[in-house]
């Protein structure tokens, strides 16, 4: 469990998100747990329904994994459904993510409470949980829509994945439009209530997204390299250095056979070294694959 170290950042502070400062109603203060530096990395918002369908469960990781692996910090609201899956997808590919809460960021205030473990994982992986509400603040009907302007405000663009016509996610999309941010949406079945909102904003001008490339092609002017968001971890020997080099240049986690093939080294030596590197926390297991650990600080 990470220590409840909460930092208070005023709007005039150098670490306050510069993009967020540009909106017409930025919060005067942010409470932050986790990395401060992450607040000014290139960020991309992902929001959607709490009642996620099987379609949404497939579409979210399909698109978000590549956006995250490209170097964007994924920003969402840690609500059930699409938000939760967006955060988890970023973590699963070794990416960075920020959760914007409509409550305080202390453990007792975090909502939904069953996402406390996710909040800890975000912090431990080099991300952050943030809020304009002071510690101890419980969520109210107005605090969650209010925080949506922060999700869009600190992001270059916002992607909506599944949303009813009256979804809170569409509030985030409207905020993005008001803030001159890009709006993207994943289309869905004309028979699905969960896609009525996304289909509607596509008709109104949101860019239709079927893959991460539809998003990334809009940001060719932004330098997006995951390796720039973390310090270079040094290997204890030549084999470790080789493994780190391979993982560092790959767009996501790799299985052991691909690592062995890329290294050109003895399979047993690679296998033994991977075990040692996992123990020393230089790499981590993501399912049946390996990824380089992202530090809590930046170089």
C-alpha distance from residue 215 to each of 208, 250, 283, 290 (Å): 9, 20, 29, 26
Taking only the tens place, the pLDDT of each residue in 57-107 is 999 999 999 999 999 999 999 999 999 999 999 999 889 999 999 999 999
Report yes or no on 169 lying in a domain: yes
User: If you average pLDDT over residues 175-188, what whole number do you get?
Assistant: 95
Question: Measuring CA to CA, how many Å separate 51 from each of 81, 194, 227, 236, 259?
Answer: 6, 8, 35, 47, 38
Tell me how far apart the alpha carbons of residues 96 and 103 are, in angstroms, rounded to a whole number.
21
Do 94 and 33 lie in one domain? The reply is yes
Higher pLDDT, 60 or 285: 60
The pLDDT of residue 127 is 96
Q: Residue 229: pLDDT above 50? A: no
Kindly state whether residue 285 falls inside one of the protein's structural domains.
Answer: yes
Contact 156, 41 (CB under 8 A): no
Query: Quick check: is 65 in a domain?
Result: yes
133 lies in the same domain as 194: yes
Residues 6+ apart with CB under 8 A from 174: none
pLDDT of residue 223: 59
pLDDT band at 35; cut points 50, 70, 90: very high
Choose one of 219, 252, 282: the last residue of a domain. Answer: 219
Q: Is residue 125 part of a domain?
A: yes
Considering the domain boundaries, does residue 117 fall inside one? Answer: yes
Mean per-residue pLDDT for 223-235? 51
Residues 12 and 118 in one domain: yes
Q: 241 pLDDT band (50/70/90 cuts)?
A: confident
| Domain annotation covers residue 119 | yes
Judge contact between 165 and 196, C-beta under 8 A: yes
Secondary structure of residue 247 in the 3-state scheme: helix
Q: Please give the residue range of the domain that contains residue 180.
A: 7-219
Q: What is the pTM of this model?
A: 0.75
Q: What is the CATH number of the domain that holds 100?
A: 3.40.50.450
Mean pLDDT of 253-281: 88
């Amino acid at each position: 469990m990470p220590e409840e170290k909460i930092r208070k950042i005023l709007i005039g502070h150098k670490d306050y998100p510069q993009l967020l400062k540009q909106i017409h109603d930025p919060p005067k203060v942010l409470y932050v747990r986790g990395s401060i530096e992450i607040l000014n990395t290139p960020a991309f918002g992902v929001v959607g329904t709490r009642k996620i369908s099987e379609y949404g469960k497939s579409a979210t990781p399909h698109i978000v994994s590549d956006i995250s692996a490209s170097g964007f910090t994924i920003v969402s609201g840690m609500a059930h459904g699409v938000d939760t899956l967006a955060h988890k997808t970023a973590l699963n590919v070794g990416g960075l993510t920020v959760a914007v809460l409509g409550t305080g960021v202390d453990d007792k205030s975090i909502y939904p409470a069953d996402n406390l473990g996710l909040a800890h994982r975000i912090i431990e992986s080099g991300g952050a949980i943030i809020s304009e509400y002071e510690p101890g603040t419980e969520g109210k009907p107005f605090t969650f829509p209010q925080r949506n302007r922060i999700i869009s405000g600190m992001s270059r663009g916002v992607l909506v994945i599944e949303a009813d016509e009256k979804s809170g996610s569409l509030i985030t999309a409207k905020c993005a439009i008001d803030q001159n941010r890009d709006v993207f949406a994943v289309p869905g079945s004309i028979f699905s209530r969960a896609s009525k909102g996304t289909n509607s904003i596509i008709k109104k001008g949101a860019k239709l997204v079927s893959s991460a490339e539809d998003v990334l092609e809009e940001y060719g002017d932004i330098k997006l390299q995951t390796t720039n968001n973390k310090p270079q971890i040094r290997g204890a020997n030549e084999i470790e250095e080789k493994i780190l080099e391979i993982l560092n240049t790959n767009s996501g986690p790799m299985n052991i056979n691909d690592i062995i093939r890329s290294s050109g080294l003895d399979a047993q030596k690679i296998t033994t070294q991977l075990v040692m590197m996992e123990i020393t926390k230089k790499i981590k297991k993501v399912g049946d694959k390996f990824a380089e650990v992202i530090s809590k600080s930046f170089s």
